[in-house]
């Protein structure tokens, strides 16, 4: 492996030990993301996340289903709105039904830019949440970096590193909600499909937990254009 590739992997993993204190047991997330272009300006967002309290799937923590409509102002700017349903289950419970159910309306703005080979993505999201009929507002900001390893840009056959940090804040009650720090190795299978395998740390107030993550992204262009 080239020295430059090792440098990027080291920089990606360096911050992880900073989250090492006061951690819970490991969990896992299995995820699907889709951005299906239906016209030059519009696309449909689809998303499924199966989150587990433990690494082996089975002890479900959350099931998240999200969909929405995206409007592409240009290649660097996209605005979106949509709906999400989240069913949350307590740890090691005998109850089959979720203990908490959330219905969520969301709006977001995504901007991207290239600096050399590094793609920077800024995501700003607003959420209106009905958690067991209790209404809440939440704001989120995510900075994501994507770095191709074996090619100048991400195309079919490219290995890449992904990194993001996302902060969540509430508009009432406790201001800080949570922070997520994520790093992954990805592979671009085709122009529409990539796979990512990584690790995420989620910190809520003074408690943190690590999650192994596996994700598939499928972004076919369904428009005639």
Tens of pLDDT along the chain (225 residues) come to 455 554 554 444 444 444 434 445 899 999 999 999 999 999 999 999 999 999 988 889 999 999 999 999 999 999 999 999 999 998 876 767 888 999 999 999 999 999 999 999 999 999 999 999 899 999 999 999 999 999 999 999 999 999 999 999 999 888 999 999 999 999 999 999 999 999 999 999 878 999 999 999 999 998 865
* Residue 47 domain flag: yes
- Whole-number Cα distances in Å, 195 to 41, 95, 160: 26, 33, 10
* Residue 77 domain flag: yes
* Residue 8 domain flag: yes
Q: Which CATH number characterizes residue 184's domain?
A: 2.40.160
pLDDT number for residue 133: 84
pLDDT number for residue 33: 98
pTM, to two decimals = 0.87
Beta strand 27-37 with 77-88: parallel, antiparallel or unpaired?
A: unpaired
pLDDT number for residue 22: 44
* Residue 57 domain flag: yes
Q: DSSP string covering 167-178, please?
A: EEEESSSSSEEE
* Residue 54 domain flag: yes
* Residue 208 domain flag: yes
pLDDT number for residue 91: 80
CA pair distance 54, 108, nearest whole angstrom: 31
Element (H, E) at 207: strand 207-218
pLDDT number for residue 2: 52
* Residue 22 domain flag: no
Domains held by the chain: number: 1
CA pair distance 140, 128, nearest whole angstrom: 12
CA pair distance 144, 121, nearest whole angstrom: 5
How many alpha carbons fall within 13 Å on the CB side of residue 141? 3
* Residue 41 domain flag: yes
Domain carrying residue 47: 3-16+27-218
pLDDT number for residue 81: 98
pLDDT number for residue 20: 39
Beta strand 27-37 with 207-218: parallel, antiparallel or unpaired?
A: parallel
């Amino acid at each position: 492996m080239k020295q430059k590739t090792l440098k990027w992997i080291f920089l990606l993993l360096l911050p992880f030990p900073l989250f090492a204190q006061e951690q819970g047991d490991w969990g896992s997330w299995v995820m699907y993301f889709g951005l299906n272009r239906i016209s030059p300006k519009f696309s449909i967002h689809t998303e499924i996340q199966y989150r587990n309290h433990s690494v082996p799937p089975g002890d479900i923590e959350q099931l998240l289903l999200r969909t929405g409509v995206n409007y592409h102002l240009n290649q660097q700017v996209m605005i979106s709105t949509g709906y999400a349903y989240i069913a949350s289950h307590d740890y090691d419970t005998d109850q089959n039904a979720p203990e908490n159910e959330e219905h969520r309306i969301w709006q977001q703005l995504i901007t991207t830019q290239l600096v050399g080979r590094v793609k920077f993505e800024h995501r700003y999201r607003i959420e209106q949440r009905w958690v067991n009929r209790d209404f809440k507002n939440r704001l989120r900001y995510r900075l994501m970096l994507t770095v191709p390893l074996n090619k100048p840009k991400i195309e079919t056959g490219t290995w890449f590193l992904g990194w993001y940090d996302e902060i969540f804040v509430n508009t009432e009650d406790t201001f800080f909600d949570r922070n997520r720090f994520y790093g992954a190795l990805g592979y671009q299978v085709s122009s529409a499909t990539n796979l990512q395998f990584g690790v995420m740390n989620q910190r809520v107030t003074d408690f943190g937990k690590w999650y192994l993550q596996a994700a598939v992204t499928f972004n076919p262009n369904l428009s005639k254009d």
